[in-house]
Amino acid sequence: MKQENNNYNGVNYLHILTLIFVTLKLCGIINWKWIFVIMPSLISIGLAIFLIVIALIVMLIAKNL
């Protein structure tokens, strides 16, 4: 039988994009404000927080029913 490995321990594309932007900023190739350089990571963190809040709301609603 074939065993499936469903664990994902990799880095997503937004974090790779952030690393590329930081490298370009530190090398002086791009002249952006730092908030724009780290924006892909902020989007990823914001999405995670949003999903956690939605999950908590659903759990509270299900608990009260």
Report which DSSP code applies to 1. Answer: -
At residue 2 the predicted structure's pLDDT band, cuts being 50, 70 and 90, is low
The per-residue pLDDT for 15 is: 87
* CB-based contact 42:14 (threshold 8 Å): no
* CB-based contact 41:12 (threshold 8 Å): no
Sequence ranges of the domains in the chain: 13-64
Specify the pTM.
Answer: 0.69
What is the tens place of the pLDDT at every residue in 14-57? 889 999 999 999 999 999 999 999 999 999 899 999 999 999 99
